[in-house]
Amino acid sequence: MRDYLKFFIDGEWVDPSGNATADLVNPATEEVSGRIALGSAEDVDKAVQAARRAFADYSRTSREERLALLRAIKVQYDKRQSDLAVAITEEMGAPASLAAGFHTFLGTGHLDTAIAVLEKFAFEKKEGDTLIVKEPIGVCGLITPWNWPINQVTVKVFPALAAGCAIVLKPPQLAAYSAQILAEILEAAGVPNGVFNMVQGKGSVIGSALSTHPDVDMISFTGSESVGVQISKDAAATVKRVCLELGGKSPFIVLDDEDMAANVTGATTGMMINSGQTCSAGSRLLVPAARLDEARAVAATAANAVTVGNPTGNAAMGPVVSREQFDTVQAYIEKGIEEGAELVAGGVGRPDGLDKGFFVRPTIFAATNDKVVAREEIFGPVLVMIGYADLDEAIEIANDTDFGLAGYVNGKDLETCRSVAKQIRAGAIYVNGGFDFHAPFGGYKRSGNGREWGEHGFAEYLETKAIIGHG
């Protein structure tokens, strides 16, 4: 049982102002796995004041001092990587191999990227007689979701530290354990007092106290559209910068060539990673209509091959994060059946042999793009296959969505892939499985307005000053 009942404020583990706590449930066993303290606006205010004081000195540290700090964090992160992985499995049910692999590896990648960006970044530039200076924006409130918990914390915390900002982190209740360990890592690395602070608790309390706080300069939020809208409203009165990374319903276009079956298999397996709880998941699989039968059969085989079960064992897929998420995903599967989408694999209920835990069957529908299951983000292991007559129609379907977070194009002819990629209205298009820590990541349309990863993510934490007549 974990008992995480203190907050990290001004370089110390301190008692919350009140004594409210919440039990956390292991999604694979449905048993209580530990407790966290639930903070209040008073705790947030203490953390913000500590960050404000720390910002005065930290914002004036040199590039070399901050690089030394990031390298010290790397030493500590490496030491605690397996602790992080165990925590991630326990809190949100990621299979052990995924938690020890991609989940924690993403944190390492964001740290290495923050170091590489800081090593080279030009903070000053002359344009005529004007000197343009990039300076850290100030105190940043970072609000994150549970689905790739360490990725989402580190993709904010490391660039913010690299830029010279002070931080108050509000992690998700559902993934509080890995955030606690990350705070311990930062403490062990010797982050100066007040530069990094963490307050746990409810989003409606802690998150909104940050969004409305007059001494917070910026909010970086990753999560749902509705909360993103609420944060924007809350932050408007104090004119904060608000960076939003929201949801998606991203198209995965498979070209009509001899690799189609392999690409459909890859897209299906990819959809089921992390139980489909990935904002950038390719949840609409666009295949040539003339070969839809073949594609359906291949996808069904791939989905049925995904082993679901205990995340501490060898299963490829664990549970979804919570009872609430389980119910939401089940309701979408029922909705798909009810609205006449064709069930290709999976369906309602738990996979055979599992009578406890928030396990969902890897599910595939074949449908048209107007169905609810093709339009709304389900955030579970549910893939919707849609046939296209030609590439123009594929692009039209791909763009017929409220979202614009990601897109995928897989095919043999790279020129065609590139041309399709350029026509998709989304922030990150992956061609044939490309991956790049330095590529900007973020949404068009209702998927958000910020960019994370790489130099673009780093730049979100900077203000621009012009010194005119500098000479």
Binding site for ligand NAP (CB under 6 A): 143-147, 152, 170, 172-173, 202-204, 207-208, 211, 222-224, 227, 230-231, 245-248, 279, 377, 379, 405, 443, 448
Assess whether 31 carries a catalytic annotation.
no
Least Å distance between CB 305 and ligand NAP? Answer: 26
- The rounded radius of gyration (Å) of the Cα atoms in the chain is 23
- Give the closest residue to 210 by CA, choosing from 163, 242, 174: 242
Closest Cα to residue 286, out of 381, 407, 189? 407
Nearest residue (CB) to ligand NAP, 242 versus 417: 242
Shortest distance in whole angstroms from residue 263 CB to ligand NAP = 24
Q: For the chain, report the end-to-end CA distance as a whole number of angstroms.
A: 63
Annotated active-site residue in 140, 165, 243, 279? 279
For CA atoms 110, 427, 144, 400, the dihedral sign is negative
The strand order across the sheet containing 124-127 reads 124-127, 130-136, 462-467
Q: Contact, 373 vs 335, CB < 8 A?
A: yes
Q: Tokens 């990290």 identify what position?
A: 8
Q: Which of 90, 91, 245, 377 is catalytic?
A: 245
Axis-axis angle for helices 63-92, 104-120 (nearest 10): 170
Q: Decide if 65 is catalytic.
A: no
Measured from the CB atom, the residue of 147 and 330 that comes closer to ligand NAP is: 147
Give the shortest CB-134-to-ligand NAP separation in angstroms.
Answer: 24
Give residues with Cβ within 8 angstroms of 393, minimum separation 6. none
How deeply is 67 buried, as exposed, middle or buried, from its count of CB atoms within 10 A (0-12, 13-18, 19+)?
A: middle
CB of 299 to ligand NAP, least distance (A): 22
CB of 313 to ligand NAP, least distance (A): 26
SS3 464: strand
Nearer Cβ to ligand NAP, position 87 or 405? 405
Catalytic sites, residue numbers = 245, 279
